[in-house]
């Protein structure tokens, strides 16, 4: 049996949310120790919602932690072990953003303003009166579910737009803007905690020749191959970015100059080995790199750190390409 049965094709007269046949029922956690109230609420809501029942706040809290699909909480106040107010406080003080924003409707008696006011102070979104009126319950549940769903959709859309704004469309690495944003945050942390921070700047050798000889689509293939190598060979805390046409940068927190140099040499060797075929003919692919480190170079910003790496990249190019350079004299360059 499916965990989420599909919506009925025909909506009831109370349903203010247009149903889609392919969508699962929204899930409501009903927290109530009275079987009579459970039966009434179930009868009113079962046409458009799937109810998950908890007998008290303690059981409800366990369900909320285990079930990521709860869309709304409908809770009584007076219950054993953990009452409705205590549950509400736990929800609003949770470390989970999902739980903090979960709509909570509290059921109170008509003449009990104390419970109602306390529920609002503790973060309730709304309340319904007991004895429960069907029209009132449906109206309040529909409104808060629809509002919460809209907010979630907006948050997902915003997250998607932010990700797109920070991503290079060809390689799917971070773009220049995102690299500098991450760089300033990491540099601030390195200053505060007196930790290492290194930058690796990489430029594809003779990239224009690849484009001119084989076309831009082959050049794009080369760039995506390098991006794949960078992604594979870096850690989750590192930032790999394409910051120019054929120019890439790596931000390496907690990495000193020696560690960055070792990684750079591994990347250089992997790129050289990557060579691919065009019309049966091998196309050589190499890169030159410059390395700069916050603890070893006097810099005040991520821009200055990148400038140092760029200066060393130029030295690596001058020395013959397909190599790395870790200082301004070029004496510590590594070559193939």
**pLDDT per position as a tens digit, 242-257:** 999 999 999 999 999 9
pLDDT number for residue 156 = 76
Domain 27-165 has CATH 3.40.50.2300: yes
Q: Is 111 left (phi over 0), alpha (psi -120 to 50) or beta?
A: alpha
pLDDT of residue 300: 86
Q: Is the pLDDT of residue 19 over 60?
A: no
Distance separating alpha carbons of residues 246 and 203, to the nearest angstrom: 6
Q: 246 an active-site residue?
A: yes
> Mean pLDDT over all residues of the chain?
87
Confidence of residue 6 (pLDDT cuts 50, 70, 90): very low
Do 256 and 198 contact (CB within 8 A), yes or no? yes
What is the pLDDT, as a whole number, of residue 243?
95
Residue 99 has pLDDT above 80, yes or no: yes
Closest CA to 283 of 207, 334, 224, 202: 207
The pLDDT value given to residue 332:
52
Parse the chain into domains and list their residue ranges.
27-165, 176-335
Q: What are phi and psi of 304, to 5 degrees?
A: -65, -40
pTM of the predicted protein model: 0.60
pLDDT surpassing 60 at residue 22: no
Phi, psi (degrees; rounded to nearest 5) at 173:
-80, 175
User: 176-335 belongs to which homologous superfamily?
Assistant: Reverse transcriptase/Diguanylate cyclase domain (3.30.70.270)
The fraction of the chain above a pLDDT of 70, given in percent, is 90
Phi and psi, residue 104, nearest 5°:
-125, 125
Structure tokens at 135: 């029209």
Q: So what's the pLDDT on residue 61?
A: 96
Strands 247-253 and 70-75: unpaired
Note whether 163 and 237 are within 8 A (CB). Answer: no
Nearest residue to 253 via CA among 331, 216, 198, 320: 198
Predicted confidence (pLDDT) at residue 306 exceeds the cutoff of 60:
yes
Single out the catalytic residue among 32, 182, 246, 265.
246
Identify the pLDDT of residue 25. Answer: 87
């Amino acid at each position: 049996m499916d965990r989420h049965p599909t919506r009925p094709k025909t909506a009831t007269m109370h349903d203010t949310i247009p149903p889609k046949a392919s969508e699962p029922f929204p899930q409501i956690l009903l927290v109530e120790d009275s079987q009579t109230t459970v039966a009434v609420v179930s009868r009113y809501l079962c046409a458009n919602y799937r109810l998950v029942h908890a007998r008290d706040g303690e059981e409800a809290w366990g369900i909320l932690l285990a079930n990521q699909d709860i869309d709304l909480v409908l809770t009584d106040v007076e219950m054993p072990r953990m009452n409705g107010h205590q549950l509400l406080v736990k929800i609003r003080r949770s470390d989970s953003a999902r739980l903090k924003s979960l709509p909570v409707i509290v059921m109170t008696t008509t003449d009990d303003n104390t419970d109602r006011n306390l529920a609002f102070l503790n973060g309730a979104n709304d309340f319904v009166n007991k004895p429960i009126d069907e029209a009132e319950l449906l109206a309040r549940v529909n409104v808060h579910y629809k509002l919460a769903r809209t907010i979630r959709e907006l948050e997902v859309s915003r997250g998607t737009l932010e990700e797109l704004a920070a991503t290079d469309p060809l390689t799917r690495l971070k773009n220049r803007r995102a690299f500098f944003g991450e760089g300033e945050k990491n540099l601030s942390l390195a200053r505060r905690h007196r930790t290492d921070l290194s930058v690796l700047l990489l430029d594809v050798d003779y990239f224009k020749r690849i484009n001119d000889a084989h076309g831009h689509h082959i050049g794009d293939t080369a760039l995506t191959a390098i991006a794949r190598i960078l992604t594979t060979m870096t850690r989750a805390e590192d930032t790999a970015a394409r910051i120019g046409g054929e120019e890439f940068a790596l931000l390496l927190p907690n990495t000193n100059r020696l560690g960055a140099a070792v990684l750079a040499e591994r990347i250089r060797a992997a790129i050289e080995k990557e060579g691919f075929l065009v019309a049966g003919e091998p196309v050589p692919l190499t890169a030159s790199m410059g390395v700069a480190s916050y603890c070893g170079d006097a810099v005040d910003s991520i821009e200055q750190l990148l400038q140092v790496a760029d200066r060393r990249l130029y030295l690596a190019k001058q020395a013959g390409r397909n190599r790395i350079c870790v200082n301004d004299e070029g004496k510590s360059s590594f070559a193939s």
